Structure 1
Amino acid sequence: MKKVTLGLAVVLSTAAILSACSSGNSESSASSANASSNGTEKSEKVTLKFWYPGTDEILTGAVKDVITKFEQAHTDIHVEPTFIPWADYFQKLTVAYSGGLQPDVHGLGFGQLISTVNQGKYLDLTPYIQKDQWAGEKDFFPDILEAGQYKSGQYGLLLPEIRPLAWRKDFFKEAGLDPETPPKTFDEIFDFAEKLKVVNGGTTERAGIDIQTSNGEQSYLSLLFLLGEDFYDADGNPTFDSPKSIELVQKMVDLYKSGAIIPSNQQQINGTPFQNSQAAISFTSAQGIAELRKTVGEENIGWALPPAGPEGERTALMLGTFLTAAQKTKHPEAAWEFIKFFFEDDNVLEFTTKTGAIPPLQSLKDDYVKLGPAYAAAFEALNDAKGYGASGNWAINVKYLRLALEEAYNGIRPVEEALKANADLAREEIESAK
C-alpha cells in the first residue's frame, strides 16, 4: 500500500464525539485447545461479554456466525454478544467503563479508539501476540496493523472499511446517463449530482449525491481529500477554514439548496439516503450498503475509485472497526483467543465477505478481489487511502468542524464565516488545553 495514513493519537477532549490471524489454521488450532485453560481459567467455563457496534441483520448475523464457530472450537468459553446502534454505542461504552461494567471484548470505531487509547482502558495485546508467535502479525497489512498501536503497544486489531465511489446504475439510466460511466473528475461529482436529483413540487424525492448534513465530517472528508487537504495539520491545528475547504463547503451548500442533497445524519439508525435508495451517488463502503446490495441487486450498483481531484488525487477515506479487550477483563487469555480467532484467515474472509469490510490480511487479497467489483474496488482503493491523522486535538477539531458544517447548511452563518469562526474556537480550545 503506497499511502495509507492511519496513525493513533492521544486525544485530550472526547466528551462530545461519537462517531473500519493466523495465515494457517494449524497454529491456531494447537493453541486454542489450551488457550483458555491457563491460570484461573482452567477448571471452569468462561463467559466473555462482547459488545459490537451496529444492529443490521447482515452484520449481527456475521458476528454470531463467528461466535458459533469459536464456541465449537473452545467448548470452555461462552461469548455473550450485545449489539448497540452506532449512534448510542460510544456513550454506552463510556458509561459502562465508568461504572466498572465494561465488556471483556468490544468493537471501537476508528475515531473512538484514537480518542481514548491514552486512558488506560484497553488491554495491550502485545504480550499475547508474542507468546503465541502469532503468524497473523506478519500477514496483516503493516499500516492497518499500526492503526491499532500506541506507544509500542497493540491495543486493537482493525477490520478496515474504505470509501470508494458507489453509484446506482438504475438511477443513472433513469436520468439518461451511461450507467457504466460514473463521475471521473472532482467537478463532475457536482454536475452529476444536479443531473441525478429528482425534485417534485419543491421536495427532493431522490438526492443526486449522499452527503450527510449532520455529523457529516466523513462525506466532507471524502471530497476534501480529493483536493489534497485535511481538516487539521500535522501539529493538530485546524485547517478546515482554508480557501479550498471554504470553496468545497460552498459547493456542498449549493447542492443542498438546489435539492441535490437530502438532510441526513451520519449516525442515524435507519441508514443514509444512499442505503435507503434515496440517493444516486455516495462515497460509501460495501459494508455500509450490504443490505441494499441484497435488495436491489449487485448488478444495479457500480463501484470505482474516487474521481480525480484537480491535481490527480484519488485518495479514499478509510475507517473501520477495531476489536479490543478491556484492560481489567478477568479473562485476558480467553479474550485474546476470541480476538485471534476472529482474525484467522478463514474466519475473517467469511466475515468480510458477508459484511463488506476488507480483510486486513495480505494472504487473502486474491480470494477477496475475485468475489466481485465492490471487493476489487475496495482493495484497489487501499493503494491511496487516508484515515484520521495522528493528533492530540482530533476530538476538538471534529467537534468544531461538525458545528461549522451544520451552521453552513442551515443558513445560520455564511459558509466562510461558519468555517472561520469555528476554526478560531478550535484554536482557542487547543491553546487553553496546553
Structure 2
Amino acid sequence: MKKKWLVAAVGVTLLATTALSGCGSGGTEKLNEKASDGSKETTLTFWRAGTDAQENAYWSRVISEFEASHPGVKVELSEAPFGNDMETKLNAAYASGTAPDVLSYTLASVAQRASLGQYEPLDAYLADWDGKSDLMESVAQTGYYNGKLYGLGFIPDPRVLLWRKDLFKEAGLDPEKPPGSWEELADYAQKLTKKDGNTTTLAGFAIPTSVGWTLWQSFVLQNGGLIIDEENNKPLFDSPEAIEATEYLADLVAKGVTIPNDSTKSNENLFPNGKAAIAYDSPTAYANLQKDHPELQGQIGVSGPIERKQKATFSGMRLLFMSSQSKNKELAAEFMKQVLSKEETWKRYTELGAPVVLNSLKEDYINDKPEINQAIFDAVMYGKGAAKVTYAGKLTEIISQNLESAYYGKVSAEQAMKDGVEQLNKELPNLIVK
C-alpha cells in the first residue's frame, strides 16, 4: 500500500486556529478587488523561503513583468526565513485553506508535502510546454515523487571543489592542479594544514564536524554508494561504500586537517572565512571570499567533483511548487513557466548568479565565465541533493550525529554507520505507515 508521512497532526490543528496575520495574503483569490478598468482583479499569491534583499529585488522585477503581460492580475509576494519560520507559516496556511498559489521552497519538502496532497501534480499543466524538455535531466528529476512531477527546479546550490592557489604555492604544490583523487586530496590536505602546537589554525581540507552530512554524502556517492533506497525506505549508509567514505573522512579529521566547524553557520564555514585551503563549497563561498578579500582575485581555483568510482557531489535545489489549494492553477502554471523561460533563466544568472538549469544555455553560460562555470555546470549535472523521503530531516540528523561520533573517536566509522542504520530503522515505524 502507499506509504504516507505521519505528520504532527495535533500541532497542525493548533496552528490552524491561529490568526494568519503574519502569513501574507489571506487566500488565493480576492474577488472584491477591481482592476483599473473596473473588471475583477485576480490575485496570485507567491511565497518564497528567504528574506535577502538581492533576491527580493529580483522577484519584484519578475512580478512586475508578469503583471504587465497579464492585465487584471496582481501577484502578492510574501517571504519567510528558511526553516521553522517557513514551516510554521505553511502548516498554518494549509490547515486553514489559505496556502499560496505558488511557492519557492526546498527539495527536502517534496516528499513530505506531496505525500500530504499539499503540492499539485504539474504533469497536466505542463503537457504542452516546450520548456520542459530543455530542463537538465538532473534538475528535472528533483521535482518528481512517486512518478509525478510536483516541482520545477530553478535555483541549484551545487558544491564545487575550491582551492587557494596562493596556499598551494606556499606548500610547494602546483597551484593550477587540484587534487584528482581521494589519495591526492588526503596528501594535499596534510601538506596544506597549518598548526600551532596541536591546534589547527588553517584547515588543509574543510570537513564539517557538525551537521556534516552533505560533504559525507558527496564522498559516499563518489564511492559508488547510496544513502537510502527511497522506494523501499531502506537505509544504505552501512554499506561497504559508505563505511569506506566515513573511514576516509574520519581519518583526515583524526590527523587534524580540519578545524571543528558547522558549515551551516556562516561564521563557522571555513573556506569563505579564509580558514581552509581546500573545500567542497558553493559558488557563493567563492564569490564571498573574493569580495571580502580583494587581494585573492585570481587566487581561487574551481573544479568539478573528484571522480573515484563515479563523478558525484552534493547539489541542493530550490523548486517552484503549485499548491493544491490554489484557485488559479492555470495562472500559477503560467507564472512558473515564465520563471523557467530561457530569457528569465539567463536574467536570474546575471542578477543573482544562479547556475542555469536549461541545456540550451549551457554554452553561453560556460563561455561567460569559463574559469568557474564549467565546474558549476558539471556539479549541477552530477549533483544529488537531499533524499526524497518524508523523513529527510530525521535521516540527515541521524547521519550527522553518528558522523560526529566517528570523527571524535567515540566509535569506529563502521560502528557509527551501523548504529545510525539501527537508529533509523527503529524510528521508521513512527515515520511511515503501510
Normalising by structure 2, what TM-score?
0.79
SS at match of 1:278: coil
Kindly indicate whether the alpha-carbon contact (under 8 Å) linking 1:149 and 1:156 is maintained by their aligned counterparts in 2: yes
CA distance in 1 between counterparts of 2:261 and 2:4 reads 27
Kindly indicate whether the alpha-carbon contact (under 8 Å) linking 1:273 and 1:279 is maintained by their aligned counterparts in 2: yes
Q: Give the counterpart letter for 2:299 in structure 1.
A: N
Kindly indicate whether the alpha-carbon contact (under 8 Å) linking 1:47 and 1:80 is maintained by their aligned counterparts in 2: no
SS at match of 1:299: coil
Quote the residue 1:183 is aligned against: 179
Quote the residue 1:107 is aligned against: 104
Is 1:307 matched up with 2:303? no
Kindly indicate whether the alpha-carbon contact (under 8 Å) linking 1:87 and 1:267 is maintained by their aligned counterparts in 2: no
SS at match of 2:279: strand
Quote the residue 1:19 is aligned against: none
Quote the residue 2:215 is aligned against: 219
Kindly indicate whether the alpha-carbon contact (under 8 Å) linking 2:162 and 2:286 is maintained by their aligned counterparts in 1: no
Q: 1:143 to 1:231 in 2, by over 3 A?
A: closer
Kindly indicate whether the alpha-carbon contact (under 8 Å) linking 2:51 and 2:79 is maintained by their aligned counterparts in 1: no
Q: 1:183 to 1:321 in 2, by over 3 A?
A: same
Kindly indicate whether the alpha-carbon contact (under 8 Å) linking 1:241 and 1:423 is maintained by their aligned counterparts in 2: yes
Is 1:82 matched up with 2:87? no
Is 1:193 matched up with 2:186? no
Q: Give the counterpart letter for 2:378 in structure 1.
A: E
Is 1:140 matched up with 2:139? no
Quote the residue 1:363 is aligned against: 360
Q: 1:236 to 1:412 in 2, by over 3 A?
A: same
SS at match of 2:172: coil
Q: 1:393 to 1:78 in 2, by over 3 A?
A: closer
Kindly indicate whether the alpha-carbon contact (under 8 Å) linking 2:315 and 2:379 is maintained by their aligned counterparts in 1: no
Render the CA deviation track for 1:130-177: whole Å, top value 9, x for unaligned. 4xx322122223443233133554311002333231222233234333
Is 1:12 matched up with 2:5? yes
CA distance in 1 between counterparts of 2:291 and 2:312 reads 28
Quote the residue 2:320 is aligned against: 323
SS at match of 2:272: coil
Kindly indicate whether the alpha-carbon contact (under 8 Å) linking 2:138 and 2:382 is maintained by their aligned counterparts in 1: no
Render the CA deviation track for 1:38-65: whole Å, top value 9, x for unaligned. 9x99834444443333445554444444
Q: 1:353 to 1:374 in 2, by over 3 A?
A: farther
CA distance in 1 between counterparts of 2:376 and 2:390 reads 29
Larger Rg: 2
- Superposed displacement of residue 339, structure 1: 1.8
Quote the residue 1:375 is aligned against: 373
SS at match of 1:204: strand
- Superposed displacement of residue 390, structure 1: 5.8
- Superposed displacement of residue 328, structure 1: 1.2
Kindly indicate whether the alpha-carbon contact (under 8 Å) linking 1:55 and 1:83 is maintained by their aligned counterparts in 2: yes
**Structure 2 stretches of 5 or more lacking a match?**
9-28
Q: 1:355 to 1:296 in 2, by over 3 A?
A: farther
Kindly indicate whether the alpha-carbon contact (under 8 Å) linking 2:211 and 2:263 is maintained by their aligned counterparts in 1: yes
State the percentage of identical aligned residues. Answer: 31
Q: 1:210 to 1:103 in 2, by over 3 A?
A: farther
SS at match of 2:211: coil
Q: Give the counterpart letter for 2:360 in structure 1.
A: S
- Superposed displacement of residue 245, structure 1: 2.7
Render the CA deviation track for 1:327-359: whole Å, top value 9, x for unaligned. 213443443232222111111112134434332
Q: 1:118 to 1:66 in 2, by over 3 A?
A: same
Q: 1:197 to 1:68 in 2, by over 3 A?
A: farther
Q: Give the counterpart letter for 1:12 in structure 2.
A: W
Quote the residue 2:419 is aligned against: 421
Render the CA deviation track for 1:297-340: whole Å, top value 9, x for unaligned. 6623211122231x4x2223332111112221344344323222
CA distance in 2 between counterparts of 1:88 and 1:264 reads 24
- Superposed displacement of residue 217, structure 1: 1.1
Quote the residue 2:16 is aligned against: none
SS at match of 1:52: strand
CA distance in 1 between counterparts of 2:41 and 2:286 reads 38
Q: Give the counterpart letter for 2:149 in structure 1.
A: Q
Matches within 5 A, 1:33-182: 43-74=39-70, 76-85=73-82, 89-90=86-87, 92-130=89-127, 133-151=128-146, 153-159=148-154, 160-182=156-178
Matches within 5 A, 1:222-261: 222-233=218-229, 235-261=232-258
What is the aligned counterpart of 2:349 among 352, 355, 371? 352
SS at match of 2:195: strand
Q: Give the counterpart letter for 2:171 in structure 1.
A: A
CA distance in 2 between counterparts of 1:345 and 1:228 reads 34
Kindly indicate whether the alpha-carbon contact (under 8 Å) linking 2:121 and 2:150 is maintained by their aligned counterparts in 1: yes
CA distance in 2 between counterparts of 1:120 and 1:245 reads 33
CA distance in 2 between counterparts of 1:74 and 1:291 reads 38
- Superposed displacement of residue 98, structure 1: 4.0
- Superposed displacement of residue 420, structure 1: 1.3
SS at match of 1:253: helix
Moved more, 384-393 or 136-145: 384-393
Kindly indicate whether the alpha-carbon contact (under 8 Å) linking 1:315 and 1:381 is maintained by their aligned counterparts in 2: yes
SS at match of 1:183: coil
- Superposed displacement of residue 423, structure 1: 1.0
Q: 1:100 to 1:416 in 2, by over 3 A?
A: same
Q: 1:92 to 1:65 in 2, by over 3 A?
A: same
Q: 1:374 to 1:278 in 2, by over 3 A?
A: same
Question: How many residues are aligned here?
Answer: 402
Kindly indicate whether the alpha-carbon contact (under 8 Å) linking 1:290 and 1:355 is maintained by their aligned counterparts in 2: no
CA RMSD of superposed structures (Å)? 3.5
If asked which structure has higher relative contact order (CA below 8 Å, sep 6+), I would say 1
Quote the residue 2:18 is aligned against: none
Kindly indicate whether the alpha-carbon contact (under 8 Å) linking 1:206 and 1:279 is maintained by their aligned counterparts in 2: yes
Q: Give the counterpart letter for 1:338 in structure 2.
A: F
- Superposed displacement of residue 206, structure 1: 3.0
